[in-house]
Amino acid sequence: MHCGWFFIYIRKIWRKFFLLCIRNKLFQPAINSQALNLKGKNILIGVTGSIASYKSALLVRLLIKAGATVQVVMTQAATEFITPLTLSVLSKNPVYTTFTSGQDEWNNHVDLALAADAIIIAPATAKTLAKCAIGNCDDLLTAVYLSARCPIFFAPAMDLDMFHHPSTTRNIASLQSFGNFFIQPEYGELASGLTGDGRMAEPETIVSRLKDHFARQPLAFTKRVLVTAGPTVESLDPVRFISNHSSGKMGYAIAAAFAAAGAQVTLVSGPTSIKSVPPSIRRIQVGTAQQMLDATTAHFNEQDVVIFAAAVADYTPKFVADQKIKKQGSEMALELIKTADIAGTLGQQKRDGQLLIGFALETENEVAHALEKLNRKNLDYIILNSLNDAGAGFAHDTNKITVIDRKGNKRLFELKSKEEVAQDILEIVIDQWKKV
């Protein structure tokens, strides 16, 4: 009996001590710093007409729970799937669908855009992607998009064939070239009954991606950066040429990432289907390997970082015909000569303080070949990707890389979108400059 009273007394003393410590902040529970990344952030969510619109309610709820202020803008089609009232109650803010509310109240798209720290368009339908890609500003949401200066994230949602249609992939590539971010749709059963890519990423995934974005280093990378991108083309005659399958997507994503981080970016690009780049990027268009070497050399000395992401032809025809070569016989002998090694040539001219990064696309003995290139070309880092990895290499929207430094240290990354890979490369460079 006495023992029972003793333990009750001890428990009361401990409780008083605990409360005293809390009041005087003598100790506090550990706080996950990432959980604070959205606290106080103004997040604008654009909701478009998709069956996945129901997920927007949970997305709003999660962002509010993370401490963000949420503003919702809906397309008229979206209101057929989820009501503005639902999202208004969850966000604790009015939801806007049109340019005007009532007779005299103007919903200013510029104010909405400039107030946002980030914009998430989720779900992003094929129609909305197309409108944003070409600047078709016929509703409040697209007007907000065109007025925005903050990071913009698209979370596509559509059926399998729509997502993989060349029109959609082209529009996504255009939007990425503008510096926008994409959150890949997930694989699973779709509303049509088909199974495949097209399900909007889960709200938890979107929030995690947003937290990761704000957890990154402050965008104050005020360095001069030159990026080469795309293929080169080596003419045989006025009609034919030798080239490769490079789309330029990786190089353009790198240029956009560094530009968004505040760098002065020069992009030397071979022929690609990517038409637009962020306005802050100085793009120099070239065709041949020699033209790329000349353009890169002309700007090399003034750069702090040079990233050789282009797929430069190793050989070029020794003779270029003035007229179209006519088909004769069953065989044709083509005499080729070696092109200049751009990274190798400029690597020998590297000055103190410059950071040079190359790419190595390999099919066998990947690491050994990449290390040999790094040392031979006098690079600081080489980024290895293998054609043996599904989803990596030319033409894909994704890439899987291994980053190797001069000491042979390797950092392996999982398969990611090329924009995410570009962010990883940006962080590696920023970390390297902190050591200087």
Q: Is 373 annotated as a binding residue?
A: yes
Closest CA to 317 of 404, 232, 426, 389: 232
Backbone angles phi, psi at 170, to 5 degrees: -65, -45
CA 149 from centroid of its chain's CA atoms:
16
Extract the tokens encoding 98: 């049109």
Closest CA to 177 of 287, 277, 51: 277
Q: Could you please report the per-residue DSSP string of 240-287?
A: -EE-----SHHHHHHHHHHHHTT-EEEEEE-S-S-----TTSEEEE--
Helix locations, 82-238, DSSP H: 84-91, 109-114, 126-134, 140-147, 160-164, 166-177, 203-215
Strand (E) or helix (H) holding 46 = strand 42-47
Extract the tokens encoding 399: 């890439």
Long-range contacts: 7-13, Cβ < 8 Å, 24+?
A: none
| Cβ pair 414, 433 in contact under 8 A | no
- In three-state secondary structure terms, 367 is helix
42 flagged as catalytic: no
How long is the chain? 436
Query: Max CA-CA distance within the chain?
Result: 111
134: number of Cβ within 10 Å? 10
Q: Is 434 annotated as a binding residue?
A: no
Q: Is 127 annotated as a binding residue?
A: no
Q: Which of 93, 108, 244, 378 is catalytic?
A: 244
Q: Is 377 annotated as a binding residue?
A: yes
Q: Is 314 annotated as a binding residue?
A: yes
Residue 386: partners with Cβ closer than 8 Å, 6 or more residues away: 361, 362, 363, 366, 392, 393, 400
- Binding residue ranges for CTP: 314, 324, 359, 373, 377
- Binding residue ranges: 314, 324, 359, 373, 377
Catalytic residue numbers, as ranges: 244
